[in-house]
Structure 1
C-alpha cells in the first residue's frame, strides 16, 4: 500500500485536484486500500503531511471496508478543533458513500452524541446522518436498529430544540433523509416558522417525490402562498408555489395562483410570471392545466402579463438524447429595491427510469436594504442582514456556508473584502462503484465492474459596490472525472474481456450582475462553460491457456468547445445594456 501511495502521491497534490489524473489515482488508491489491513492504512495516515492528508482521508473513507473505517475513526479526534478540515472531509465522504453500512451510521451517531469541539462539525454530523438514513432506507434497511435509532434521535431532538441554529441543523438532516413520517413536522415549520427556518422546511418538502405530497401538503402550501394565516417572506411563498405547480395541481389551484399575479410585490409578480412561462416553454407536467386556465381572459390578459421587474426563472437542456438527458435551471429573485434575495442554479440528470439532482447552488441574502436606504418589502421589515450559500451535490445536501450574519459583520466584510470566492466543497468523490458476477447458462462466468471518481471544487462569492451601486454573485464549479469499466467472460479454455475508460474535465460559472442605480434596475445573468477536453480508451483482449494473449486498443481525444448557455431573450437584451453602460463609463471624460 505504501509503495502504491508513493507512486501516485504527486497527482493528489491540492493544486492538481482539478485534473482527471487525480480522480484516476484516487480510484486506484481505493482499490489498494480495500486489500490493506487497519495497521497499513494507519501507517500512511499518520506519516502524511497536512497538504496530502485530506486526500488520503477521502480515499480511506471511500474504500468503505471495516478496516478503513476503524483506521480513520481511530485517527480522527472530534474533540480537537484543529483537525476541522479532516473531520469535514471524512464526513462528506461518508455522505457520498456508494454502499454505506449500518456500522457506519452507528459510528456517526455515536460521534454526534459525544463531545464535538466544532459546532460546524456537529452540524455536519447530523446532516450526514440524514443522508445515510436515506441511502439505507433505499436499500430496504429502514428497520435496521441503527437507522431506527438515528431517525428517533433527529425527530425527538428537533421537537425539543429551542435555538434557531439547532432547529435548522435537524431540518437539514430531514432534508437529506426525506422520511415520509417527517412531512407533518416540515409542514409545521414551513407554515409557522420564521425566516430561514420556514424557508428551509419548505425547500425540504420540495425535494420529496410528488407522490408523497398529499392533500394536506398542498393545502398548507396554498395557505403559505396566499398568506391566509400570516405574512410570509417572498422566498417561502415562491417555494410553496413551485411545490403546488410541480405536484399535479388542480384547475382552481393554478387559477388562484395566476389571479394573484398583479397583487404581489413587484419583483415577485415578475418572478411568478417567469415561472409560469418557463413551465409552458419547457412543457412540464402542469403545462396542460396552465394552458386550460389561460383560456380564461380574466387570468390571461395584458395587464397581468406585462408586469415590470428583473426577477426570472429559466430551464434549458445541456444534453438531450434517447437514453440520457441533462437539464439546467437558473432562477433569481430580487427585493423591490434591486438587491438579490435568492439565486438558484440546478443541474439534473435523467435516464429512462431515474433522476439525479447533480448540483444545486443557492445564494440567499436578506435585510440589505439599509445599505442603500431602501424600503424593505412586505413581511421583510425586521430581517437581520444575512447572506449565505447552500449546495446539493449528487442528492446530498451539504452544510450551508455563511458569508456574513448581522449588520456589523456585513460592514466589516465589505471593508475587508478581497473579492475571492468562498469554498463550499472541495475534494475527491467516489461517483460510482459497481461489481456484479453473472453465471451464464452455458457455464462460463461473466463479471462486470465499474468505478468512477470525481475531483470537485465548488465556490461562490458575493460582491457589493456602493459607489457604482452594483452587486455581483459568482458561483464557480470545477470538475474532473475518471470512469473505468471492465467486462470479462472466463470460460475453461479462454478468457475474453473489454476495458473502457473515460476522463474529462470542465468548469461551469454562473455570474449575475445587478446595477441598481435606476429602476427598473439592470440584471445580467450568465452561465458559461470553458473548453472541456475528454478522452476515451477501449481495450479488447483474449488470453488462452497456453499463455498467448491477443489485444486490440482504440482511443479518442477531443475538446468540447466552451460556450455560454442561452437564457431568455429578455436577459440577453439586459446584458447588452449592462456591459454597454460599463464600456461607456470606462471611456472617461476624454
Structure 2
C-alpha cells in the first residue's frame, strides 16, 4: 500500500514537473535555443483563412469627445505553396471583399461603424506573394497595375507575418518603417512584438529643434501573436498602435490617432504544392500562370500623393489676405492666423512669382510684413527674389533689410545656402550702414546656432565653422563700438568653443565689454559653465581683483545662483549683506534674486533661512530691510503638467534710474527654459537729471538710453533712444517720444512641424503643427523738467495662433482631426518718476484679461459619395488679468506718488 501511494504521488509530481518542463521547452524552443527550426511553421500544402479588420480612429489628446475615422473589413486567405528548406516558405495571399466602414450616428452595429460603399470595392485586386525566410520577409510580389493605396494595405497585411519566436532585439523594415523590435514570449504559444523608434527618413520631415518650442510625437506599437497548440500556424494577430502629436510645453494641446489591426483564424484547408527548383523559377511559373507581371518590393509603404485641387500663387494668396497684413493688424489675431497659410504657399512658389508680389504697387503698404513672411519661407527661390529687390548697402532699404534679416534670424529652420550668401555679402559689401552691418552679423550667428541644432548638422558643419571664424577674427581686430557688435554676435552664436575668448575679455576688457561678455555667457545653458567661469563670476561679484561695473556684478551673481550653488557659497553670499560694501542696490538685487530662486527651490530657501537664523548679526531688521529699489521677481502666468509660462522682471536701479532692466517671458519644461521675448532696458549718465548726488565715475558717462530685444532666444541689435545730452534735451523739449511709437513689430512662426508617420496597416498619417505670432512692442516716454516728473509706458501685444492636425488621406476615404488655439496676451510696464523733492520711483507691471480659445474639428469624407461627418468642440477660458507686486519699497513709492 505504501509503495502504491508512493507511486501515485511520484507520478503526480513527475507529471506536473513534466508539464512545466514541456511548457518551458516550448517557450525555449520559441525563444533562445531552437527558433523556427523547431516549430516548422507554415508547412507547404496548407491554407488558412482569416477574418481581417483594421481601424484608424482620431481624436483630440486628453479629451472625452467622440472620435472620427474608418474601418476596413475583409477576408485574408494565406496559402503555403512551396518550401526548399526548413526555414524558406513561399506564401500566397488574397484580400477578399474589402469593405469600408465609417462612423455614423445611425450605426446599427455595436462597434460604432456602418458599412459604406467606396472606391475600394472597384479596385483591381489580385493575389500577392511573399518570400518568407526564417521569420523575415525577403520580398513581396505585387501586381503592377493595382492602386497604391491597396498595395500599401497588402504590405500592412504581409507585415503581420514578419516575426520571430525567440526573446531577442532586432532591426526590421515593414509597413511601419525602419524599426527597432523587441520580442517577448508570453506563454507556450503566445508572444509579443514591440516596435520602437520607427524611422521614415525617406518621407518629408521638419521641426523646430528647440527643446521647449518643438512638437512632440510619441508612438507606441504592440503586436500580440498567438500560434496554434502545435506552433504550426498563426491563430490570431492583434495590433495596438497609438501616435500622439502635441505641444511639448502644454501636452494637453494635441491630437491622437489610434490604430487597430487584427487577423482571426476562421478555417484551414489542404492545398497542392508548387514544384520549382528555386524562387526565381517559381516566380516565372506564376507569372505565366496568372498572365500578369509582378513587381518585387520591400514591405516599406509608399506615400500616396493625392493631387491638390489647383495651386495658389503667392501673388493670389497675398491679395486674399492683404488686409490681415496691414500695420494696424500687427499684434493681433487677424495677422497671426494667416502666417501659416502664406508660408505654406511661399515654400512652393517660384522666384518670379515672389519677385512680382514684392514689386507690386498694391503691396507697398505691407512690404515689411511680406519680408517677415519671406524670412520664414527661406527657400533658395524666395531668398533670390528678395535679393533682387533689397540692397543691404543702400540706406533707403534699411528698414526693409532689417525686417527681412530679423525674420531670417528668428526662423527655427535655417537654410545653409542663405547663411553662406549672407556671409559672402557681409565680406564683400564695404559700405554697409552701421545698423545693417550689426543686424547682418546677429542674423548670421543666430542662423548658424539654429543650424547646429539640426539632426543633419554634420552636413553643414563647415558653414558653422566659417561663421565662427568670421566672428572671432572680427572681434580680434575691431575696436570700440564695432567690438561691442561682435560680442553681441557671440551671444547669438552660443558656441562653447568661444568661452575662452569671453573669459579673456572678462579679465582684460573695459566695463562695457565685460557686461556684454557676461550677457553672452548667461545665454548658455548652466551645464556649459565650467569651473573657470564660476570662479570668474565669484571674483567679479565680490570685486576681488578690481572694481567692477554694477551690471557685471549682478550678471555674475545670476551665474552663481543659477549654477546650483553650494551651501558654502550661499553662506558667503548671505554674509555679503553685512559687508562694508556700500552698493545698496547690488545688495538689494541679491536679496531679491535669493527670494526669487527660493520661491521655486525649497531646498535653497531652507538653506538661506537656516543661515540667517543661525546668526543674530544677519537676523535683524537693519540687515534684511529693503534698502534700495532694485527688483527681481518671477511670476507664473501659464501652468500645465509639462510646462509653465513665467514672467521674470529684473530692475537694477542706480541713483533712482533703471540702469539695467529686464522683462522676460519664459517657457519652461523639464527644467529646460526658452525665452519667448526679453525686453532689456539700459541707461547711463542720467543720474544728474533726477539727483544731486552723482557718482563721479557716472558723471563722465555719456547720457544714453535704449532697449535690447531678444526674440525666441535671438538677440536683436539695440535700439538707442538718444546718445548724448544734447540729443536727450532735444527729445525732452520737442516731446518726440510722448506718443505711443512702435519699437519692434514682426510676424513669427516658432512652431513649424511636419511629419509623415507610417501606420502598421499600410496607411500614412500626416502630422502638421504650425504656431504663429504677430508681435508688437510699442512705448512712449514723457519727461517734464518744469514739474520734475516723468512717466514711461512700454506695451507688448501679441496675437498667437496655432493649428495642428493629423489626417489620413486615401482615394477611398479621408479622415482628419484638427485643433486651433487662439489668444491675444498683453503686458505693460509703466514707470512713474517724481524728483520734485525726494526721489520716488513707481513701477507697475500688469497683464490685462485675455481670452483663450481651443477649438477641435473632426471631419470624415468618402470621395464619390455624399457621406460627410463633421464634429466640433469649442473651449473658451478667460485668463484673469494681474498686476504683479514687485516689492514693499516699490509699493510705498507708488502710494507716495499717487497719494492724491
CA distance in 2, matches of 1:462, 1:186: 35
CA distance in 1, matches of 2:376, 2:521: 29
- Other structure's SS at 2:721 match: strand
2:872 paired with 1:553: yes
Distance in 2 between residues matched to 1:107 and 1:288, nearest whole Å: 54
Q: Which moved more, 1:313-322 or 1:364-373?
A: 364-373
1:148 partnered with 2:465: yes
1:132, distance to aligned residue in structure 2 (A): 1.0
1:142-291 equivalences under 5 Å are 144-162=461-479, 164-262=480-578, 263-283=581-601, 286-287=604-605, 289-291=607-609
Alignment partner of 1:441: what SS?
A: coil
Name whichever structure is richer in strand by fraction. Answer: 2
Pick from 48, 54, 61 the counterpart of residue 375 of structure 2.
61
1:351 aligns with 2:666: no
Aligned counterparts, 1:90-169, within 5 A: 90-115=404-429, 116-139=431-454, 141=457, 144-162=461-479, 164-169=480-485
Report what 2:335 is aligned to.
Answer: 22
Q: Mean Cα displacement is larger for which, 284-293 or 359-368?
A: 284-293
In 1: Cα distance, 2:426 partner to 2:697 partner = 36
Higher Cα radius of gyration: 2
Q: Distance in 1 between matches of 2:521 and 2:605?
A: 21
8 Å contact kept, 2:690–2:835:
no
Query: Shift in Å at residue 325 of structure 1?
Result: 0.7
Rounded to whole Å, the distance in 2 between the matches of 1:373 and 1:354 is: 42
**CA apart distance, 1:105:** 1.1
Which deviates further from its counterpart, 391-400 or 556-565? 556-565
Partner of 1:46: 359
Structure 2 counterparts to residues 334-483 of structure 1, below 5 A: 334-335=653-654, 337-352=655-670, 354-372=672-690, 374-377=692-695, 380-418=698-736, 419-483=738-802
Q: Which structure has the highest helix share of the two?
A: 1
Deviation of the 1:396 alpha carbon: 1.0
1:405-445 Cα distance to aligned partner (Å, 9 max, x none): 12222222222223135533202112211100000122211
* Alpha-carbon shift at residue 292 of structure 1 (Å): 4.7
Work out which of the residue numbers 798, 804, 808 in structure 2 matches 1:485: 804
| Structure 1 pair 281–534 and aligned structure 2 pair: CA distance change class (3 A) | closer
Distance 2:824 2:343 in 1: 21
* Structure 2 counterpart of 1:70: 384
Give the Å deviation of 1:528.
Answer: 1.8
Instruction: Label 1:454 to 1:32 Cα distance change in 2 as closer, same or farther (>3 A).
Output: same
- In structure 2, what is the equivalent of residue 586 of structure 1? none
Q: CA deviation at 1:577?
A: 2.3
C-alpha RMSD over aligned residues: 2.2
- Is the Cα–Cα contact under 8 Å of residues 502 and 536 in structure 1 kept in the other structure? yes
Deviation at 1:21, TM superposition (A): 2.1
Return closer, same or farther for 1:515/1:62 CA change in 2, 3 Å cut-off.
same
Deviation at 1:166, TM superposition (A): 0.8
Identify the residue that residue 12 of structure 1 maps to in structure 2. 325
Corresponding residue of 2:896: 577
Cα distance in 2 for partners of 1:288, 1:156 equals 47
1:347-375 deviation digits (Å, cap 9, x = unpaired): 11112364211111111111112334633
Q: Does the C-alpha gap of structure 1 residues 463 and 231 become closer, same or farther in structure 2, counting only changes over 3 Å? A: farther
Instruction: Write out aligned runs for 1:84-95 (5 A).
Output: 84-95=398-409
Pick closer, same or farther for the CA change 1:453–1:366 going to 2, 3 Å: same
The answer to whether the aligner puts 1:515 opposite 2:834 as a matched pair is yes
Tell me how far 1:378 sits from its aligned partner.
Answer: 7.1
Kindly indicate whether the alpha-carbon contact (under 8 Å) linking 1:233 and 1:380 is maintained by their aligned counterparts in 2. Answer: no
Instruction: Tell me what 1:541 maps to.
Output: 859
**How far off is 1:130 after superposition?**
1.4
SS at match of 1:105: helix
Secondary structure at 2:391's aligned position in 1? coil
**Inter-partner Cα distance in structure 1 for 2:473 and 2:810:** 56
In the TM superposition, what is the alpha-carbon distance from 1:462 to its structure 2 partner? 4.2
1:344–1:353 Cα change, 3 Å: closer
| Structure 2 CA distance for aligned equivalents of residues 478 and 492 of structure 1 | 44
Give the CA deviation at 1:284. 6.9
Q: Deviations over 1:506-556 (max 9, x none)?
A: 32101122333455x433221222332343332211122443322222334
Q: Is the 8 A contact 2:332 2:797 kept in 1?
A: no
- The alignment of Structure 1 onto Structure 2 pairs a total of residues equal to 578
Cross-structure match for 2:344: 31
- Determine the C-alpha separation between the residues in 2 that align with 1:191 and 1:411: 37
Query: Given the superposition, is the C-alpha separation of residues 375 and 284 from structure 1 closer, same or farther in structure 2, using an over 3 Å criterion?
Result: farther
Range with bigger deviation, 411-420 or 326-335: 411-420
Structure 1 residues 371 and 119 mapped into 2: Cα distance closer, same or farther (>3 Å)?
same
Segment drifting more, 176-185 vs 2-11: 2-11
**Residue 394 and residue 562 in structure 1: after superposition, are their counterparts in 2 closer, same or farther (change >3 A)?**
same
Instruction: Report the equivalent of 1:588.
Output: none
- Pair 1:81 & 2:379 matched: no
Q: 1:88 to 1:485 in 2, by over 3 A?
A: same
Name the CA shift for 1:19/1:310 in 2 (closer, same or farther; >3 Å).
closer
Higher RCO (Cα < 8 Å, 6 or more apart): 2
The answer to whether the 8 Å contact 2:401/2:436 transfers is yes
**Structure 1 471/242 Cα, relative in aligned 2: closer, same or farther at 3 Å?**
farther
Gaps of at least 5 residues in structure 1 are 584-590
Which stretch has the larger CA shift, 561-570 or 431-440? 561-570
| 1:570 Cα offset (Å) | 4.3
Deviations 1:122-177 (A, max 9, x none): 10000111111211111252762211111101011101112x21111111111111
CA 1:285–1:43 in structure 2 vs 1: closer, same or farther (change >3 Å)? farther
Please report how far the alpha carbon of residue 327 of structure 1 lies from its aligned counterpart in structure 2 after TM superposition: 0.9
Q: Distance in 1 between matches of 2:812 and 2:835?
A: 75
Query: What's the TM-score once normalised by structure 2's chain length?
Result: 0.61
2:754 is paired with a residue of what secondary structure? strand
Determine the C-alpha separation between the residues in 1 that align with 2:740 and 2:553.
29
The verdict on how the C-alpha distance between 1:278 and 1:468 changes in structure 2, with shifts beyond 3 A counting, is farther
Q: Is the 8 A contact 1:30 1:59 kept in 2?
A: yes
SS at match of 2:627: coil
Structure 2 stretches lacking a partner, 5+ long: 1-312
SS in 2 for 1:52: helix
CA change 1:269–1:420 in 2 (3 A) is same
Is the Cα–Cα contact under 8 Å of residues 191 and 224 in structure 1 kept in the other structure? no
Q: Is the 8 A contact 2:656 2:841 kept in 1?
A: no
Deviates more, 1:166-175 or 1:266-275: 266-275
Q: Is the 8 A contact 1:310 1:522 kept in 2?
A: no
The alpha-carbon distance between structure 1 residues 431 and 449, as it changes in their structure 2 partners (threshold 3 A), is same
1:284 to 1:471, Cα distance in 2 relative to 1, 3 A = farther
